[in-house]
């Protein structure tokens, strides 16, 4: 399965993606705000293996994609149903290699994955969250039609112990359908 956008291909993560993913997941300047495994290549390989296997599970709750530009992996985007007991909503997340930021790739990929979630997973809402010190991710949320529903959240990063504020944004199926028409 592949999702084609104007400039990108978004496809399920697969074995063989480890080196490209570790290139951005291992960059500590980017991943302080993420919960990706980034300490060692082996940790990244385990992440890839686990998420690639999930695509073959009848009980799949996490849909982990890679973002490709001209055949090169430049980031990732995921749609996670694991926080929704009745599978009525998903959470959306993304990361783009630092060399490819500020070009709209995250918004383009996130919108494609959100469309996949609404159309294929039959959910009613999509949420996304970001650190209040991450204006780029907040901008992606707004660009893809999400609205801030809370600026009162907090998050603590397990690797650093740092606690920060958190924005939560959301869009409903109906809002998305109006936006894409």
CATH number of 3-180: 3.40.630.30
* pLDDT tens, N- to C-terminus, the chain (181 residues): 899 999 999 999 999 999 999 988 877 666 555 556 567 888 889 999 999 999 999 889 999 999 999 999 999 999 999 988 888 899 999 999 989 999 999 999 999 999 999 999 989 999 999 999 889 999 999 999 999 999 999 988 777 788 889 999 999 999 998 877 5
Within the chain, strands assigned E span 3-4, 8-12, 62-69, 72-80, 89-96, 125-131, 147-156, 163-172
Q: Taking the domains of the chain in order of start, what are their residue ranges?
A: 3-180
| Residue 59 tokens, joined | 């009980």
- What CA–CA distance (Å, rounded) separates 12 from 65? 4
In the beta sheet, which residues pair with residue 10? 3, 67
Phi and psi, residue 134, nearest 5°: -120, 75
């Amino acid at each position: 399965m592949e999702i084609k956008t104007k400039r990108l291909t978004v496809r399920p993560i697969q074995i063989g993606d480890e080196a490209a993913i570790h290139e951005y997941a291992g960059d500590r300047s980017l991943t302080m705000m993420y919960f990706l495994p980034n300490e060692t290549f082996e940790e990244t390989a385990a992440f890839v293996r686990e998420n690639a296997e999930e695509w073959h599970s009848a009980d799949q709750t996490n849909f982990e994609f890679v973002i490709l530009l001209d055949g090169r992996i430049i980031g990732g985007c995921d749609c996670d149903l694991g926080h929704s007991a009745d599978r009525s909503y998903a959470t959306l997340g993304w990361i783009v290699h630092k060399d490819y930021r500020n070009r709209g790739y995250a918004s383009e990929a996130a919108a494609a994955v959100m469309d996949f979630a609404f159309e294929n997973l039959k959910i009613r809402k999509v949420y996304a969250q970001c650190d209040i010190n991450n204006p780029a991710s907040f901008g992606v949320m707004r660009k893809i039609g999400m609205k801030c529903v809370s600026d009162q959240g907090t998050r603590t990063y397990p690797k650093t112990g740092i606690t920060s504020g958190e924005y939560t944004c959301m869009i409903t199926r109906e809002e998305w359908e109006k936006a894409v028409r």
